[in-house]
């Protein structure tokens, strides 16, 4: 599978909870920022913005208000309400009176984003004014710039974000605008696939060379434009991937290592129930679109390939906090979970939280000054809350399993039994409701509900009385037969924590036969738990984590098949050594012996 085609299937390299056992009971989670640490970090950052808000310049207040909204502040909060009043004074005038240059494009883009998030219908006239002014302020080539240059990749990014916000509010953006955005990016992409700050000029970070910030920004801008120019092709590509996955799963021949996000069957369903999804309607007219969908895929694929080859957890060229928000947006729009073979959010969130100051701020943004850090802190919030992914309803489902409330436990008390996090403070609480009810909910869940139920189950087992699992193992075994991989995966995770050795066979059966890579990974982890062998006989936790991002489907499947054969041999032979004597004539044991013999 090419890099381009991979953009239309969500990468299925799900980072497994790395449980390392010492002896029989000491558990050390994986080194990645967990949900509790992220919530605590966001809460501290929000408190910092509240405490210093009055010291900000007006344009910094705009970005901080948007971040506060994403962090959970209501639009009626003094900070956001004050900024909304300022926006109304500035943008309620006719668009012909609005003239943007440079930073004003950034401000206008963020203002449109804030208005749409607060109340798109109420603020429709102002949003339309901003969109028309942005359209009027473009260079002839369709880009935006600080002055009368030929375009700046960063400024263009925020002009594009402003138009995107307006389009989500129902403002008609002409095809010509989206087309010129694509054409400008096609023309300014460097030969290695990357993008520079100001194309053709040795100024700014990188001095004319490609940078992570600008390549990520360009991928995001091109993807936004493509959503409106090619809604049918992009929709068909995603639905085709989902349909293929469904068909292959039914035949037990589905491709390994790629998990597509479940998608609706029709255009009408695609927007149903989520007003924040992109509006695929676009104005029709005499304009002839010059760009093609295949060109878009080619250019984005080259840029993603560049990002894979140059990915850094801490950006060494250009603004650091700007980088994280740009990265979050780029990956949400392209549905990429892995860069350079790593889960980009896990490694970057760990780095972001580790660099947060004690007062809750981040002082890593070059645009901050005067002893306050609204820009860096706002970008930190927008990154950690995965603001674009939430807007697009593209939050990954992997975080629930093994990445639940207490994976890691940084900042929490030694007694993890019954705690909660509220405004950054740890509070006592009871874990979620009865496990049997949660499992019934799991059997009926889908979409976002599924991820919520998964997290509750993880919390229940981690925080509650694990003996409650004893009475629910029959139900968990039944869930292993469900067609939905996420349900099977959740059930396997729970079975692994039961410490009931009679259930080992179900994990081995999954290793033998389950077509889903993530279920295989969870079964391997369960067997590590059951056996008290954290090394897992030396097998990698994830059979595809070390593969190149652009590896072919055939090579990916070959890697999984090889790992499966090794896992079957290692765990099968182990089970035959330790299973009770009276089970030696059990049909499962006989079948396992036969299959091991056949595999040689």
**What is the predicted pLDDT for the residue at 93?**
65
Average pLDDT over residues 291-302: 90
Q: What is the pLDDT of residues 12-71, one digit of tens each?
A: 322 222 222 222 222 233 345 577 889 899 999 999 999 999 999 888 999 999 999 999
Residue 303: its H or E element: helix 293-310
Residue 112: strand, helix, or coil: helix
Q: Are 14 and 518 in contact (CB under 8 A)?
A: yes
Number of CB atoms found within 10 A of residue 537's CB: 16
How confident is the model over 119-174, as pLDDT tens digits? Answer: 999 999 999 999 988 998 888 899 988 876 788 999 999 999 999 999 999 999 99
CA contacts within 13 A on the Cβ side of 544: 30
**pLDDT over 90 for what percent of the chain?**
32
How many residues appear in the chain?
600
Q: Report the pLDDT value the prediction gives residue 94, as an integer from 0 to 100.
A: 60
DSSP state of 462: H
> Does the pLDDT at position 337 exceed 70?
yes
In this prediction, residues 255-277 reach a mean pLDDT of: 31
Residue pLDDT, tens place only, 82-93 = 999 999 888 876
pLDDT top residue among 310 and 96: 310
What is the rounded CA–CA span in Å between residue 321 and residue 364? 6
* Minimum mean pLDDT range among 194-208, 222-236, 463-477: 463-477
Q: How far is CA 164 from the centre of its chain?
A: 20
pLDDT value for 212: 95
Q: Which of 5-9, 219-223, 231-235, 452-456 has the lowest mean pLDDT?
A: 5-9
Give residue-wise pLDDT tens across range 458-507.
666 655 555 666 667 788 888 888 888 878 888 888 887 777 777 888 88
Q: What is the pTM of this model?
A: 0.58
Q: Domain-by-domain residue ranges, the chain?
A: 1-7+500-600, 35-243+262-391
Position with higher pLDDT, 113 vs 24: 113
Mean pLDDT of all residues in 453-462 = 65
Mean pLDDT across the stretch 249-260? Answer: 28
pLDDT at 391 over 70: yes
How far apart, in Å, are the Cα atoms of 465 and each of 413, 440, 469? 18, 18, 8
The CATH classification of domain 35-243+262-391, taken from the options 3.30.70.2860, 3.40.50.720, 1.10.240.10, 1.50.10.20? 1.50.10.20
Mean pLDDT of 93-100: 58
- What values do phi and psi take at 566, rounded to 5? -65, -40
Residues 98-116 have a mean pLDDT of 81
The reported pLDDT for the residue numbered 100 is 59
Using CA atoms, how far apart are residues 444 and 450, in angstroms rounded to an integer?
Answer: 8
């Amino acid at each position: 599978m090419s890099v381009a085609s991979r953009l239309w299937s969500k990468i299925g390299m799900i980072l497994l909870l790395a449980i390392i056992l010492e002896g029989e009971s000491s558990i050390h989670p994986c080194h990645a920022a967990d949900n509790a640490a992220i919530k605590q970090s966001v809460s501290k950052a929000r408190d910092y913005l509240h405490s210093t808000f009055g010291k900000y310049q007006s344009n910094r207040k705009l970005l901080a208000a948007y971040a506060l909204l994403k962090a959970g502040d209501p639009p009626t909060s003094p900070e956001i309400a004050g900024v909304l009043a300022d926006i109304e004074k500035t943008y309620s005038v006719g668009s012909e009176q609005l003239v943007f240059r440079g930073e004003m494009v950034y401000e206008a883009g963020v203002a449109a984003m804030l208005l749409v998030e607060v109340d798109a219908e109420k603020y429709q006239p102002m949003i339309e004014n901003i969109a028309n002014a942005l359209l009027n302020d473009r260079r002839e080539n369709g880009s935006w710039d600080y002055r009368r240059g030929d375009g700046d990749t960063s400024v263009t990014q925020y002009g594009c974000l402003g138009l995107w916000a307006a389009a989500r509010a129902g403002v008609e953006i002409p095809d010509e605008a989206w087309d010129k955005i694509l054409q400008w990016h096609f023309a300014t992409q460097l030969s290695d696939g990357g993008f520079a700050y100001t194309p053709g000029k040795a100024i700014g970070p990188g001095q004319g060379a490609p940078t992570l910030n600008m390549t990520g920004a360009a991928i995001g801008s091109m993807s936004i434009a493509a959503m409106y120019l090619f809604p049918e092709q992009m929709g068909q590509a995603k639905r085709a991937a989902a349909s293929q996955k469904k068909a292959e799963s039914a035949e037990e021949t589905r491709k390994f290592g790629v998990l597509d996000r479940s998608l609706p069957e029709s255009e009408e369903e695609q927007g149903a129930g989520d007003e924040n999804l992109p509006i695929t309607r676009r104005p029709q007219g005499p304009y002839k679109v010059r760009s093609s969908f295949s060109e878009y895929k080619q250019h984005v694929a080259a840029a993603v390939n560049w990002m894979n080859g140059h990915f850094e957890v801490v950006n060494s060229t250009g603004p650091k906090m700007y980088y994280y928000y740009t990265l979050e947006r780029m990956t949400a729009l392209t549905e990429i979970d892995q860069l350079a073979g790593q889960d980009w959010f896990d490694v970057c969130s760990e780095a972001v939280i580790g660099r947060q100051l004690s007062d809750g701020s981040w002082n890593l943004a070059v645009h901050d000054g005067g002893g306050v850090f609204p820009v860096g802190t706002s970008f930190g919030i927008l990154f950690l809350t995965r603001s674009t992914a939430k807007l697009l309803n593209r939050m990954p489902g992997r975080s629930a399993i093994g990445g639940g409330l207490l994976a890691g436990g940084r900042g929490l008390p030694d007694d993890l039994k019954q705690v909660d996090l509220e405004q950054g403070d740890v509070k006592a609480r009871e874990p979620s409701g009865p496990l049997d009810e949660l499992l019934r909910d799991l059997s009926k869940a889908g979409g976002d509900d599924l991820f919520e139920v998964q997290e509750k189950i993880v919390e229940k087992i981690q925080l509650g009385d694990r003996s409650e699992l004893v009475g629910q193992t029959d139900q968990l075994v039944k869930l292993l037969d469900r067609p939905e991989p996420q349900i099977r995966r959740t059930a396997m995770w729970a079975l692994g924590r039961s410490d009931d050795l009679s259930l080992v066979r179900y994990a081995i059966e999954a290793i033998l036969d389950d077509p889903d890579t993530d279920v295989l990974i969870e079964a391997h982890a369960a067997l590590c738990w059951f056996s008290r062998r954290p090394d897992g006989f030396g097998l990698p936790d994830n059979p595809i984590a070390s593969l190149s991002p652009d590896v072919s489907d055939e090579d990916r499947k070959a890697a999984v098949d090889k790992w499966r054969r090794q896992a079957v041999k290692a765990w099968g032979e182990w089970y035959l050594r330790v299973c009770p004597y009276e089970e030696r004539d059990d049909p499962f044991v006989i079948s396992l012996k036969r299959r091991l013999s056949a595999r040689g």
